[in-house]
Amino acid sequence: MGGLELDEVTKAFGASRAVDDVSLVVDPGAFVALLGPSGCGKTTLLRLVAGLERPSAGRIAIAGRVVAEGGRFVEAEERGLGMVFQSYALWPHMSVADNVAFGLKVRRLPAEKRRRRIADALAMVGLSELADRRPAQLSGGQRQRVALARCLALEPPLVLLDEPLANLDAHLRETMQREFRRLHRETGATFVIVTHDQAEAMALADTIAVMHEGRLQQVATPHGLYSAPATEMVARFIGRGALVPVAILEPARDGRLTVSLAGRTLPARGAATVPGPGRLVLRAETLALSDAADAIPARVVDAVYRGGFHTLEIAIDGVEGGLVQVQSREAPAPGDRVGLAITDPWALPAGG
C-alpha cells in the first residue's frame, strides 16, 4: 500500500516559494484532495510527489521509501506511481488498448501479463468494447476513462490526479466522480487529487488539505473543514462563509464559548483560548428570520427568488461587514427590518 509522507517540503522559484514548508501524512488507502485557489501551490506539490520537480528543501517518502531528501532524488519513472493529467495525454495515433499498454511496455511486462492487465483495466472503467478505437473517436468522458485505465493498469500503490475532471461538463463530472469513488474502493490504492473545486473535493476525498500561498491552512475531513474551519481563509473558501466581527467574551471550554454580536450575547463553538476580538462564521443554513425578542436586529438589502425559496441579503445592524445571506420562504422587501436567529455558529480569533 502506498502511503505518503511530506516533511517540511519547500519549492522555491527564485525568491518566490510556490510550496512553503509543507508537512503532510497520507495514510495508505486514503483519498486525499489538495484544494485551494489558483496559484496556491497545490499542483507544484503534486509535481514534487510525482518526481516532476525537485524540492528545494524537505523530505518526501512514498510507501516508506525516501524519494527526495537532500542530495537523494528518485526520478519520476522509478517511483512506480500512476498519474492522470487534466489534458489526458493520450497518444492520438494509438488505439485505446495501445494507450493503456504504453506504460506496461516501458516497464517490459511480459506480453501475456500485459494483455491481462489491459483487459482488466479496460473492464474496470467500462471500455472493453472500445479497445480498438482511437482517442479522436471517443467522448471527453471516455478519453478520461482511457487515461484512468492506463494509470490503473500499472497497479500503482499511489495514484496522482491533476484536475482530472476540469475539462468535462457538469453531468460528466458527476458521473466520473462516482467512477473515481468506486475505483478507489475496488483498487485499495492511495489517491491524491488536485482540485480548485470544493464541491468536487468534498464529493471525492475522505481528507482535504487546503492550501493558500504555498502553505497548508488545514487538513481535515470534509465535515471538519465545513463545521470547524481553522483560519479565516478556510472559512471563506469552504462553503463561502460570511465572517462578521464579534467580541469573544469567554474562552472556549469543551469547544463552547460566548460571543457578543450587535448587542446580543450568543453561544458558539470555537477554539479561542483568550477573550478578545473574533470572527463569527455564518452560512445560510445557520441563519433564519425570527420575531423573538432576542433576535439579532438587521435590515434586508436584497431579495432574489430561487424557486421555492428566496435568498435574502441582510445587513446586521451596527456591524461593519455584517452582510449575510439567508434562505427564506418569506419575501420581505429591501429596506424591511427583520430579526435574525443564529444556530450553532463557529467562532475564530480575529486574524486567525
The answer to whether 122 touches 149, Cβ cutoff 8 Å, is yes
Sign of the Cα pseudo-torsion (86, 196, 227, 331, in order): negative
Sign of the Cα pseudo-torsion (327, 331, 333, 338, in order): negative
119 and 46, same structural domain?
Answer: yes
Q: What count of residues does the chain have?
A: 352
> Would you say residue 268 lies in a domain?
yes
What phi and psi, each to the nearest 5 degrees, are found at residue 190?
Answer: -85, 125
> Would you say residue 173 lies in a domain?
yes
d(CA 123, CA 195): 27
For 316, the domain range is 245-349
> Would you say residue 21 lies in a domain?
yes
Q: Give the total number of structural domains in the chain.
A: 2
**pLDDT, tens digit only, all 352 positions of the chain:** 569 999 999 999 999 999 999 999 999 999 999 999 999 999 999 999 999 999 999 999 999 999 999 989 999 988 988 888 877 788 889 999 999 988 888 888 888 888 899 998 899 888 899 899 999 998 888 888 898 888 888 888 899 999 888 877 877 788 888 888 988 998 889 999 999 999 999 999 999 999 999 999 999 999 999 999 999 999 999 987 789 999 999 877 888 899 999 889 999 999 888 889 999 999 888 899 999 999 999 999 999 998 889 999 999 998 887 789 999 988 899 999 999 999 989 999 987 6
What is the residue-wise DSSP string for 106-165?
A: HTT--HHHHHHHHHHHHHHTT-GGGTT--GGGS-HHHHHHHHHHHHHHT--SEEEEESTT
> Would you say residue 190 lies in a domain?
yes
Q: Which of 227, 253, 279 is the last residue of a domain?
A: 227
> Would you say residue 61 lies in a domain?
yes
222 and 175, same structural domain?
Answer: yes
For residue 310, what is the domain's CATH number? 2.40.50.140
User: Cβ atoms within 10 A of the Cβ of 131, count?
Assistant: 17
